[in-house]
A and B are shown apart, each in its own frame.
Chain A
Amino acid sequence: MNICSVKRLNGVVVRALFIAAILVAAPALNATSVLPPDFNAMVRQADLIFTGRMTGQRAEWRKIEGQRSIVTLVRFEVIGVHKGRGGPVIELQFLGGKIGQASLDVDSIPKFHVDERVVLFVEQNGVAASPLVGFFHGKFNVLTDGTVTHHDGAPLGDVADIGKSRARRGSTPRAMAHDEFAGKIRGATQKAN
Chain B
Amino acid sequence: MRKLFVVLSVLGIIANTRAYNFIVSYPLRWAGGEVPLVLQLDDTRTPDFLSDGNTSWDDVAMEAVAIWNSVLPTIQFSTTSGPGHANGNERNEIFFSPSIYGHRFGRGVLAVTTTWHIGDERVEGDTIFNSAIPWDSYRGELQSGSVDFRRVAIHEFGHIVGLGHPDQARQVMVSVMNSIISDLDTIANDDVFGAQALYATETRHVINVAVDPPQAGVVLVKPTAPDGKMARGALAALTPKPNRGFRFNFWDAPDPSSSRVLKFRAYEDRDITAHFSSNTAPRIISHPKSQFASVEDFVTFRIKIANARQASFQWQFEGTDIPGATESALTLQGAQHWDSGLYSVTVRTAKGETQSKPARLVVDDY
Task: Identify the A interface with B (CB < 8 A).
Answer: 15, 18-19, 21-27, 29-37, 45, 60-61, 63-65, 67-69, 95-96, 99-108, 123-124, 127-130, 132-136, 151-154, 164-167
CB-based contact B142/A27 at 8 Å: yes
Give Cα distance in the complex from A143 to B141, angstroms: 36
The interface residues of chain A lying within 8 Å CB-to-CB of B324 are: none
Q: Which residue of A lies closest to B166 (CB)?
A: A152
The interface residues of chain B lying within 8 Å CB-to-CB of A32 are: 110, 151-152, 155, 176, 178-181
Show 11 residue pairs from A and B whose CB-CB distance is below 8 angstroms, ordered by the A residue: A19-B132, A33-B111, A67-B101, A99-B364, A103-B24, A105-B23, A106-B100, A107-B165, A133-B106, A135-B109, A153-B168
Any chain A CB within 8 A of the CB of B145? yes
Q: Closest CB-CB distance, B320 to chain A, in whole Å? A: 18
Any chain A CB within 8 A of the CB of B88? yes
Give which listed residue, B28, B134, B168, contacts A151 with CB less than 8 A: B168
Given contacts A33-B111, A151-B168, contact A130 B86 (CB under 8 A): no
Give Cα distance in the complex from A67 to B182, angstroms: 35
CB-based contact B180/A165 at 8 Å: yes
Give which listed residue, A18, A64, A108, A132, contacts B102 with CB less than 8 A: A64
CB-based contact B112/A107 at 8 Å: yes
| 8 additional contacts (CB under 8 A) given A96-B114, A165-B182 | A19-B134, A31-B180, A33-B155, A65-B102, A69-B102, A102-B362, A103-B115, A105-B117
Chain B residues 98-131 with CB under 8 Å of chain A are: 99-119
Give Cα distance in the complex from A132 to B104, angstroms: 12
CB-based contact B100/A95 at 8 Å: yes
Given contacts A107-B113, A167-B182, contact A154 B170 (CB under 8 A): yes
Given contacts A26-B142, A33-B111, A129-B100, contact A101 B119 (CB under 8 A): yes
Give which listed residue, B103, B142, B165, contacts A95 with CB less than 8 A: B103
Given contacts A33-B110, A165-B181, contact A104 B142 (CB under 8 A): no
Give which listed residue, A25, A103, A107, A130, contacts B106 with CB less than 8 A: A130
Any chain A CB within 8 A of the CB of B147? yes
Give Cα distance in the complex from A13 to B280, angstroms: 71
CB-based contact B104/A129 at 8 Å: yes
Any chain A CB within 8 A of the CB of B339? no
CB-based contact A29/B180 at 8 Å: yes
Give Cα distance in the complex from A165 to B166, angstroms: 12
Fill in one digit per residue for B70-101: 1 if any A CB lies within 8 Å of its CB, else 0. Answer: 00000000000000001110000000000111
Q: Closest CB-CB distance, B260 to chain A, in whole Å? A: 29
The interface residues of chain B lying within 8 Å CB-to-CB of A99 are: 364
> Which 5 residue pairs spanning A and B have beta carbons closest together?
A64-B102, A35-B108, A65-B102, A61-B365, A67-B101
Q: Closest CB-CB distance, A113 to chain B, in whole Å? A: 12
The interface residues of chain A lying within 8 Å CB-to-CB of B283 are: none
Task: Classify the secondary structure of B's interface with A.
Answer: loop
Any chain A CB within 8 A of the CB of B159? yes
Q: Closest CB-CB distance, A120 to chain B, in whole Å? A: 14
The interface residues of chain B lying within 8 Å CB-to-CB of A132 are: 106
Give which listed residue, B88, B179, B340, contacts A33 with CB less than 8 A: B179
CB-based contact A135/B106 at 8 Å: yes
CB-based contact B292/A102 at 8 Å: yes
The interface residues of chain A lying within 8 Å CB-to-CB of B102 are: 64-65, 67, 69
The interface residues of chain B lying within 8 Å CB-to-CB of A96 are: 114
Q: Closest CB-CB distance, B132 to chain A, in whole Å? A: 7
Any chain A CB within 8 A of the CB of B220? no
The interface residues of chain B lying within 8 Å CB-to-CB of A167 are: 172, 182
Give Cα distance in the complex from A153 to B181, angstroms: 16
Q: Which residue of A lies closest to B100 (CB)?
A: A129
CB-based contact A23/B115 at 8 Å: no
The interface residues of chain A lying within 8 Å CB-to-CB of B117 are: 102-103, 105
CB-based contact A164/B180 at 8 Å: yes
Given contacts A68-B366, A103-B116, A152-B179, contact A34 B110 (CB under 8 A): yes
Any chain A CB within 8 A of the CB of B183? yes
Give Cα distance in the complex from A68 to B362, angstroms: 12
Kindly name the residue among A100, A152, A154 whose own CB sees the greatest number of chain B CB atoms within 10 A.
A152
Give Cα distance in the complex from A106 to B134, angstroms: 23
The interface residues of chain A lying within 8 Å CB-to-CB of B183 are: 30
The interface residues of chain B lying within 8 Å CB-to-CB of A61 are: 364-366
CB-based contact A22/B23 at 8 Å: no
Give Cα distance in the complex from A25 to B107, angstroms: 12
Give which listed residue, B134, B179, B292, contacts A34 with CB less than 8 A: B179
CB-based contact B180/A134 at 8 Å: no
CB-based contact B115/A106 at 8 Å: yes
Q: Closest CB-CB distance, A59 to chain B, in whole Å? A: 11
